[in-house]
Structure 1
Amino acid sequence: MRRAFLFLTILPIAACGNLEEVGRAPALSPIESSDEFRAMTTAPLPAYSERSTPNSEASLWSGARSSLLGDRRASQGGDIMTVVIEIDDKAEISNTSGRARQGAQSMGISALLGLPQRLNEVLPNGIDLDPAVSTSSTSSFSGNGSVSRNEKLTLRVAVTVIERLPNGVLRIRGSQEVRVNFELRELIVTGFVRPEDISRQNEITYDKIAGARISYGGRGQISDVQQPRYGQQITDIILPF
């Protein structure tokens, strides 16, 4: 009874961590804890410096961003650029494993100065010392798992340069929300980009974003119906059977 009570007491405590995720979407890993962020903010990296070429007073052209030939790509905090997301991934994984083991042990006391025979006289009926100990065990395991995934996503979203790191890398973040009736679609993009990877059209593809975090989901009546109820999620976490 004590063991059963202890098991029932520890089980809800162990499940508390999972209960916090009930009704929540999987959280994205923070960029600040990534290796990319630590590498970009460490002192050994060379500091970024822009090369500026003085314009001749007699020249009709200027290198300013507002000029005809000026560079209008995002380069500093507050600038806006476009991220093109075209994901077409497919993966198939299949694993099979098996294991079996069988063992038996037996130990008996047939003669030990006559003690077993004398003890058998005083032991209750059905109990004797030959064999004194006998065990037998059999275990088997068989596992089979497979994963088949096919994802395709094509999106374009405007992002804002949050800050410029000491080595010139730009930290970007953008979000987009579209509401149709009672369903809200949300797109979030964060990461780090190099200014030289930005095209002349002020666009960059998602595969050139370091530490990219892309979230595409929704909230609303349809999304609520697609998720199991909170009570069912809680019982799936707590019940051990």
Structure 2
Amino acid sequence: MKRMVSVVALACLLSGCGAVGRLQGVGKAPKMTAMDDPVAPEIEPSLGLQGAAHRNGATAAPAPSASLFRTGAGGFLRDQRASKVGDILTIRINIADKASVDNTTSRTRAGGETGGIAGLLGLETQLPKILPGKPDPSKLVDFNSNSTATGAGNTTRSEQINLTMAAIVTGVLPNGNLVIRGRQEVRVNFELRELIVTGIVRPEDIARDNTIAHSQIAEARISYGGRGQLTDAQQARWGQQIYDALFPF
């Protein structure tokens, strides 16, 4: 019975720390995320495809008109930059940030207090009977305090990311701004790198080659990370993380 309880407790401990999932992935490459359903408006079928379907014996819906230009289709003279839901936009991510912060604080404080009773209707003569030693009524209280505090802090940060990826327009706001979202995953051996970009862009900021810089994305959320054997090796063991979180000293 004790052995069974120990096994159950160990299983609960492992499951709570995520060790079961890691044990199941030993010797296996990390799984890639399934692709989401593409967001795009419906486009009228091509007249050429309708003719091919008719020749093959399939039943096709009648075309609403005989125009060569279909609703929602790209035109030769139309602006090819992203402007509606489902369009693809290229994002250029060039992050080269450096920051250095150095703070120094010093504080010194001193205080003193002296008090006494030279005479109090003759009652001061009774002090030697109450207080030990030979107290001087004129120097009953003598208090001094001195405090010194010094603090120093230094923070240095340097980041550099140079990437190019594609994003999809997932929504159009009432003022015409575009909501975009892009996701890119690259798996090399047993390490998976993931890049996610979301935000809001103005159609006017999109260049002629249908690209936009990351600095022109409002409410930008750029996540660049990964998972796999290298990421696990760079992380402290879960026991060490719990110890660091709970140990007060």
TM above 0.5: yes
Whole-Å separation in 2 of the counterparts to 1:222 and 1:127: 77
User: What corresponds to 2:224 in structure 1?
Assistant: 216
RMSD, matched Cα: 3.0
Q: Write out aligned runs for 1:75-90 (5 A).
A: 75-90=83-98
User: What corresponds to 2:212 in structure 1?
Assistant: 204
Offset at residue 202 of structure 1 (A): 2.0
Q: Which of the numbers 150, 153, 176 marks the counterpart of 1:168?
A: 176
Whole-Å separation in 1 of the counterparts to 2:173 and 2:71: 23
User: What corresponds to 2:63 in structure 1?
Assistant: none
User: What corresponds to 1:185 in structure 2?
Assistant: 193
Paired amino acid for 2:182: G
Report if aligned partners of 1:108, 1:133 keep a CA contact under 8 Å in 2.
yes
**Number of positions where the alignment pairs a residue of Structure 1 with one of Structure 2:** 181
Report if aligned partners of 1:61, 1:69 keep a CA contact under 8 Å in 2.
no
Whole-Å separation in 1 of the counterparts to 2:242 and 2:87: 45
TM-score between the two structures when normalised by the length of structure 1: 0.63
Whole-Å separation in 1 of the counterparts to 2:118 and 2:229: 76
Q: Could you say if the C-alpha distance between residues 156 and 182 of structure 1 is closer, same or farther in structure 2, counting changes exceeding 3 Å?
A: same
User: What corresponds to 2:38 in structure 1?
Assistant: none
Paired amino acid for 1:206: H
User: What corresponds to 1:100 in structure 2?
Assistant: 108
Q: Which runs of 5+ in 2 are unaligned?
A: 1-67
Q: Could you say if the C-alpha distance between residues 135 and 109 of structure 1 is closer, same or farther in structure 2, counting changes exceeding 3 Å?
A: same
The secondary structure found in structure 2 opposite 1:199 is coil
Report if aligned partners of 1:63, 1:71 keep a CA contact under 8 Å in 2.
no
The secondary structure found in structure 1 opposite 2:207 is coil
Paired amino acid for 2:153: G
Q: Could you say if the C-alpha distance between residues 230 and 120 of structure 1 is closer, same or farther in structure 2, counting changes exceeding 3 Å?
A: farther
Q: Which runs of 5+ in 1 are unaligned?
A: 1-59
> Per-residue CA shift, 1:4-26, capped at 9, x if unaligned?
xxxxxxxxxxxxxxxxxxxxxxx
TM-score between the two structures when normalised by the length of structure 2: 0.61
Paired amino acid for 2:210: N
Whole-Å separation in 2 of the counterparts to 1:157 and 1:128: 85
Offset at residue 237 of structure 1 (A): 4.6
Identical columns (%): 52
Query: Which is higher, the Rg of structure 1 or of structure 2?
Result: 2
